[in-house]
Amino acid sequence: MTGPVLEVRELVVEFLSEDGPLRAVDGVSLSIGRGEIVGLVGESGAGKTLTSEAILGLIRCPPGRVRGEVRFRGRNLLALPEREMARIRGKEIAMIFQNPAASLNPVFRVGDQLVEALGLHLEGGRGTLRRRAVEILARVGIPAAARRAHDYPHQFSGGMAQRVMIGMGVACVPRLLIADEPTTALDVTIQAQILRLLRELVKERGVSVLFTTHDLGTAHEICDRVVVMYAGQEMESAPSDDFFHRPAHPYTRRLLESLPGADGEIRDIPGEVPSLIGPPPGCRFHPRCDFATAECRARRPDAHAVEGEHRVRCYHPLGAP
Ligand SMILES: Nc1ncnc2c1ncn2[C@@H]1O[C@H](COP(=O)(O)OP(=O)(O)OP(=O)(O)O)[C@@H](O)[C@H]1O
Ligand code: SF4
Ligand SMILES: [Mg+2]
């Protein structure tokens, strides 16, 4: 297939707060090719989860308002009726949520929930689906998987529930997997196992992945391309090698410089993330930027290509002549 599997254009997610409109996602554009893993990174509150939820049509409107375009295999998902979106969710696009406890149904056994998810996609009787469900649980590192399939979600620890969620997400081999901080709560051995599983899915089945993470080390390890968000906007998107070795946006450079070392976790960088109600005019990063000029303070920069697929929302990209 040619062209991107997913193309998001000028996505806006807005809420009405008591103090005025809160634009939590403000004009985000990004694309994901077939078999590509795209990382979505940025500080807490940047709008990563809302972007993911908006793609899947999961923002409740009202109180939220969503605008823009989310093209998936040529169709604008934002214009589809909920009935059709429900068919796409879980089958063609699966999501692993940041909070697994909110996503597993507490009143059904874990194995039964997996069998149901598998039934959307696979042919076969209940016995076959059950065996496959147990295989998936084992593959995401649940010990004694056959026995644990009879347990309810509350009998799993947070990390195990997260692994079950990952199993559910990959069970149907979706075309697009949206994984929101899928490995953050897991210890390093399990994390490595999950990353391996995702890579296999991508390589063997051509699944595309939008991978949200706080952890730039993980993004470096697994992503083909990285998009960084700041205060509701995508500031830079680039192939991983460019992103980590030749960042063009001053914010990306600050993020990379603020990495404390081995763990790769994003820590807060000096200065404050602006309020999303009445954010600074012009470039949202200008109050924290060493390179800000009058132009930066006056007008919002648009994203543009600095080279090939390397795009940046900045008037004075680093490394530019
Ligand atoms: N339903 C809502 N109503 C109003 N504001 C919201 C709502 N949901 C999220 N927000 C705000 O939107 C902003 C972006 O939230 P989001 O959850 O997308 O951030 P994030 O980048 O995923 O952060 P984290 O890394 O902490 O998960 C935050 O400031 C959040 O408080
Ligand atoms: S547009 Fe200006 S303020 Fe914004 S990041 Fe670029 S140089 Fe800094
Ligand atoms: Mg989030």
Tell me which ligand sits closest to the C-alpha of residue 28: 1
Q: What residues contact residue 124 under an 8 Å CB cut-off, 6+ apart? A: 132
Q: Give the residue whose CA is nearest to atom 9 of ligand 1.
A: 50
Greater confidence (173 vs 230) lies with 230
Residue 303 alpha carbon to ligand 1 centre in Å: 22
Poorest-pLDDT segment among 13-17, 74-78, 121-125, 286-290? 121-125
| Residue 290 CB coordination number (10 Å) | 7
How far apart (Å, rounded) are the C-alpha atoms in residues 93 and 177?
Answer: 6
Tell me if 105 sits within 8 A of 188, measured CB to CB.
Answer: no
Residue-level pLDDT at 81: 93
Amino acid at 211: F
Tell me which ligand sits closest to the C-alpha of residue 41: 1
Phi and psi of 68, rounded to 5°? Answer: 110, -160
How far apart (Å, rounded) are the C-alpha atoms in residues 231 and 36?
Answer: 25
User: Which structure tokens are listed for 61?
Assistant: 């409107």
User: Which structure tokens are listed for 113?
Assistant: 């929930």
pLDDT at 50 > cutoff 80: yes
- Which residue is it, tokens 């707060």? 17
Q: What is the pLDDT of residues 239-262, one digit of tens each?
A: 999 999 999 999 999 999 887 665
In CATH, 6-230 is 1.10.20.10: no
Q: Give the residue whose CA is nearest to atom 25 of ligand 1.
A: 44
Residue-level pLDDT at 262: 53
Determine if ligand 2 sits within 6 Å of the CB of residue 231: no
Q: Give the residue whose CA is nearest to atom 8 of ligand 1.
A: 50
Q: Which pLDDT band, with edges at 50, 70 and 90, does 168 fall under?
A: confident
Give the residues across from 15 on adjacent strands. 22, 64
Residue-level pLDDT at 158: 81
Greater confidence (180 vs 102) lies with 180
Interval 106-131 mean pLDDT: 89
Interval 78-102 mean pLDDT: 86
Residue 128 alpha carbon to ligand 3 centre in Å: 36
Q: Which atom of ligand 1 is nearest to the CA of 98?
A: 27
Residue 25 alpha carbon to ligand 2 centre in Å: 19
Determine if ligand 2 sits within 6 Å of the CB of residue 250: yes
Interval 107-123 mean pLDDT: 88
One-letter-per-residue 3-state SS of 90-105: CCCEEEECCCHHHCCC
Determine if ligand 2 sits within 6 Å of the CB of residue 228: no
What residues have a C-beta under 5 A from ligand 3, the ion?
Answer: 48-49
Phi and psi of 14, rounded to 5°? Answer: -130, 140
- Centroid of chain to Cα 13: 15
Phi and psi of 77, rounded to 5°? Answer: -65, -30
Determine if ligand 2 sits within 6 Å of the CB of residue 101: no
Greater confidence (171 vs 148) lies with 148
Tell me which ligand sits closest to the C-alpha of residue 45: 1
Q: Whose CA is closest to 200, among 35, 2, 31, 34?
A: 35
Q: Give the residue whose CA is nearest to atom 13 of ligand 1.
A: 45
| Residue 68 CB coordination number (10 Å) | 17
Tell me if 42 sits within 8 A of 36, measured CB to CB.
Answer: no
As a whole number, the mean pLDDT across the chain is: 90
Angle subtended by helix axes 158-171 and 126-139, to nearest 10: 130
Interval 122-135 mean pLDDT: 90
Residue-level pLDDT at 264: 56
pLDDT at 273 > cutoff 90: no
Q: What is the pLDDT of residues 186-234, one digit of tens each?
A: 888 888 888 988 898 899 889 999 999 988 989 999 999 999 999 999 9
User: Which structure tokens are listed for 181?
Assistant: 């901080």
Tell me if 246 sits within 8 A of 319, measured CB to CB.
Answer: yes
Q: Which atom of ligand 2 is nearest to the CA of 289?
A: 8
Q: Give the residue whose CA is nearest to atom 1 of ligand 2.
A: 314
Identify the helix (H) or strand (E) that includes residue 66: strand 64-72
